[in-house]
Chain A
């Protein structure tokens, strides 16, 4: 496996940071995503993933849910949650690492229909 020259990004766990009082993040669900989840019985799992996102990203500004299909493999689809979070990148990525760790504890394949991407602003 290849090695990289760059320094590792700080891995401070975000769960350790004090949660700041902030405005409620804007949330939206695209109609096709609602239909997709309803047809597959994924609505409860969606709530679980959203709760994990809210928990692990104290700087969450918005969360939009849509359906993502792979143009190269149309049979591969997922429910995508786009989280817009405050910066800097290092802190946001520490939160994402903590989120993935929490998801891994919770997952076991049950939540694999969901994918979370982060936009840092």
Chain B
């Protein structure tokens, strides 16, 4: 399946009366975006190693294309929101309101729009160049 398909799940759960559904919606918004971008980069030789997938936002923020930088910034936002949603059971339900689930869904939808304006091939090239510059190419699977 396409990673972006999780967006439909995120949207359907965002207005649920149940906190657990709204937390799941936030988490799905993140994973839709993460997997959507990773899937698009894979054919161009950028495959993050298992422990490094969550650093994709950092790599995107170092790209030349301003659209990709925005994608990186929004993906980073969703990364932080997803940690709260998936791990911080002690946080009050108000942190996972319908509005917050809508915020996360909006970010994911914007990531999709911005990423569609870019070239995945060019993004992959920028990411490899950045990782080479910071001596971190080992974070990628070998082609």
Residues of A within 8 A of B (CB): 1-2, 4, 6, 8-9, 68, 70-73, 75-76, 78, 80, 87, 89, 92-93, 96-97, 100-101, 103-105, 107-109, 111-112, 115-120
Contact = CB atoms under 8 A, between A and B. Distances in A.
A24 B116 CA distance: 39
Contacts of A107: 61, 69, 73
A112 B70 contact: no
17 contacts: A1-B2, A1-B116, A2-B4, A2-B36, A4-B109, A73-B52, A73-B55, A75-B51, A89-B106, A93-B103, A103-B69, A104-B69, A108-B69, A109-B62, A118-B77, A119-B95, A120-B100
Contacts, number: 108
Identify the interface centre among A72, A100, A105, A118: most chain B CB within 10 Å of its CB: A100
Is the contact region of chain B dominated by helix, strand, or loop, or is it mixed? helix
A97 to B, nearest CB: 6
Given A104-B69, A107-B73, A2 B7 contact: yes
The 4 residue pairs across chains A and B that have the minimum distance between CB atoms: A109-B62, A104-B69, A2-B4, A112-B61
B62 A87 contact: no
B112 interface: yes
A120 B76 contact: no
Contacts of B112: 1-2, 4
Nearest to A119: B100
Nearest to A118: B103
A68 B83 contact: yes
Interface string B72-105: 1110110111010001000000010001101100
A105 to B, nearest CB: 7
A102 B112 CA distance: 19
A115 B40 CA distance: 24
Contacts of B52: 73
A92 B61 contact: no
Interface string B102-120: 1100110110100110000
A89 B99 contact: yes
